[in-house]
């Protein structure tokens, strides 16, 4: 069906929908999900100015899915866009998901059926508690702050017994409430690392590396998606909300961050105005053992790295690109294909978590945008996708954990000084310990296949460390820097990087 015919269908679909006695029971009555052809960045800005809700976190020129409320429809159609209606019954799509969830059997905490469907906040908290009770030697629950509505923001620490200064990776999910697959994947990571901790390869990793997972950064928003509006994105500030992934301090208020409260990417009145971002900031700053940050979102099947606010190379662009490439390859070996990309190459998104954690906290920082690519599916994935997507996240996380493990293996090196930021202020004055590239790698290893034919803690070959020999961008001199642990490997990998090669071995989850 051509665009013009589908535009006509959209007008037909504009007929009022029955709301029922409770208007909140049908919040998406008369909404459309529309694919818009956006030729360039200027036209993208014009489209967003109409007030439609772009579904990808990083909207970009090309074909873009947007949710169109009835009051926005006239402005969109008046601008003569090329359109295709993806769903003329958005409320019906939501109702179908609610019906399935209402019919599902609620899992027994720790009973093994948690990932048969998506779970609400109470079930997530109960499962975290059950895992901690079953493996107290591995799991510590940390309440790192409270949301606007007083809900606990919970972090789960997973590691073997050992010193607290071992390198650590932090994983956050659920900044955007409607991205249920990101939250289920955060929980899947926790579950798998705890229930499989006795496997030799993972046991060795947990001896060297600590992992912190915050499965639901935005608990108020997530709870609201279960009770009121399935496609709610922001936190619940004044009932209008702030996009927490535009509220971090680095580049706050820049391009790609909304200035009006009604906008889906509204950055808030000031940087770190929200208790959710304050909790993450304070936790990261209070844990100097952290060396890497992974922020999980959906959708688009992308692996993004700084900068996200400007199209300029970060000081560690080669290392970040190499890590993103390795993660995308590892995730792709599980099924879906992921594309590594600098964040701003899609669409600038100032004030995001990974730019702040990289520039201001000195961490090696990556964002995952999970399944799907199909805009018609969007945020409502069928439950049979939960485990496959979780396996993809687990495979990509293994690359980050290997990067962190390399920091534990290496002797102290040169500290970095100075600062770097996406706006060009400051300078990267790091002195490399040997070869100017500062690249290091991790050894290849082979592990068991995941239960059910999923990913293994399997084959993985080297992820380049930061060019300055430190974790992240070297912007924070208080972090423990890493120096090359094998000069020969350093020189070889340095030459590979300079030649532009991104060759690598088999990644975790290769099934071997």
SS3 readout for 333-369: CCCCCCEEEEHHHCCCCCCCHHHHHHHCCCCEEEEEE
Residue 266 and residue 260 in contact, taking contact as beta carbons nearer than 8 Å: yes
Residue 221 and residue 177 in contact, taking contact as beta carbons nearer than 8 Å: yes
Indicate the SS3 state at residue 140: strand
| Phi, psi for 286 (deg, rounded to 5) | -85, 0
d(CA 56, CA 66): 8
d(CA 41, CA 64): 12
User: Cis peptide before 307, with omega less than 30 degrees from 0?
Assistant: yes
C-alpha Rg value of the chain to the nearest Å: 22
Q: Which among 179, 369, 410, 414 is annotated as catalytic?
A: 369
Longest dimension (CA), the chain: 72
Taking the CA atoms of residue 292, residue 353, residue 287 and residue 396 in that order, the dihedral angle to the nearest 10 degrees is -30
d(CA 230, CA 304): 26
User: Sign (positive/negative) of CA torsion 424, 426, 427, 431?
Assistant: negative
Residue 167 and residue 212 in contact, taking contact as beta carbons nearer than 8 Å: no
Active-site annotation holds for 35: no
Q: Of 154, 159, 113, 169, whose CA–CA distance to 135 is shortest?
A: 159
Q: What's the token pair of residue 256?
A: 């790609």
How far is Cα of residue 100 from the mean position of the Cα atoms in its chain? 26
Q: How many CB atoms lie under 10 A from the CB of residue 164?
A: 11
- Convert 229-264 to b/e letters by CB count within 10 Å (16 or more is b): bbbbbbbbbeeebbbbbbbbebbbbbebbbeeeebb
Q: What's the token pair of residue 205?
A: 């990793």
Active-site positions read: 369
């Amino acid at each position: 069906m051509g665009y013009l015919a589908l535009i006509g269908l959209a007008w037909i679909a504009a007929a009022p929908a029955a709301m029922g006695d409770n208007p909140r029971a049908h919040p998406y009555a008369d909404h459309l999900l529309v694919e818009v052809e956006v030729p360039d960045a200027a036209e993208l800005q014009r489209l967003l100015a109409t007030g439609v809700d772009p579904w990808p976190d990083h909207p970009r020129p090309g074909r873009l899915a947007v949710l169109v409320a009835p009051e926005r429809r006239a402005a969109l159609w008046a601008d003569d866009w090329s359109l295709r209606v993806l769903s003329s019954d958005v409320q019906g799509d939501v109702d179908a998901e609610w019906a399935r969830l209402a019919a599902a059997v609620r899992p027994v905490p720790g009973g093994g059926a948690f990932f048969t469907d998506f779970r609400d906040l109470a079930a997530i908290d109960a499962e975290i508690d059950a895992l901690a009770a079953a493996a107290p030697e591995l799991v510590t629950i940390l309440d790192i702050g409270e949301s606007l509505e007083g809900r606990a923001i919970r972090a789960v620490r997973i590691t073997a017994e050992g010193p607290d200064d071992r390198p650590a990776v932090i994983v956050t999910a659920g900044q955007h409430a409607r991205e249920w697959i990101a939250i289920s994947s955060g929980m899947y990571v926790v579950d798998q690392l705890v229930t499989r901790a006795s496997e030799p390869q993972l046991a060795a990793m947990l001896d060297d590396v600590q992992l912190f997972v915050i499965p639901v950064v935005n608990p108020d928003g997530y709870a609201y998606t279960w009770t009121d509006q399935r496609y709610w994105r922001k936190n619940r500030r004044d009932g209008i909300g702030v996009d927490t992934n535009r509220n971090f301090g680095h580049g706050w208020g820049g391009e790609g961050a909304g200035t009006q409260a009604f906008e889906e990417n509204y950055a808030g009145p000031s940087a770190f105005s929200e208790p959710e971002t304050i909790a993450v900031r304070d936790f990261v700053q209070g844990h100097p053992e952290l060396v890497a940050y992974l922020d999980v979102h959906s959708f688009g099947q992308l692996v993004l790295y700084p900068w996200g606010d400007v199209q300029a190379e970060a000081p560690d662009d080669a290392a970040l690109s190499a890590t993103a490439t390795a993660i995308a390859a590892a995730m792709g070996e599980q099924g879906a294909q992921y594309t590594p990309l600098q964040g701003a190459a899609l669409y600038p998104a100032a004030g995001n978590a990974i730019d702040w954690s990289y520039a201001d906290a000195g961490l090696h920082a990556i964002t995952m945008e999970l399944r799907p690519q199909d805009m018609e599916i969007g945020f409502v994935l069928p439950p049979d996708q939960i485990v496959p997507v979780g396996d993809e996240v687990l495979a990509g996380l293994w690359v980050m954990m290997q990067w962190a493990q390399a920091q534990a293996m290496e002797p102290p090196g040169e500290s970095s000084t100075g600062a770097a930021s996406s706006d060009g202020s400051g300078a990267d004055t790091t002195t490399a310990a040997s070869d100017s590239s500062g690249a290091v790698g991790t050894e290849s290893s082979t592990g068991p296949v995941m239960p059910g034919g999923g990913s293994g803690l399997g084959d993985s070959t080297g992820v380049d460390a930061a060019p300055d020999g430190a974790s992240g961008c070297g912007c924070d001199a208080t972090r423990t820097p890493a120096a090359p642990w094998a000069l020969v490997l350093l020189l070889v990998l340095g030459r590979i990087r300079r030649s532009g090669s991104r060759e690598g071995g088999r990644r975790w989850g290769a099934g071997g």
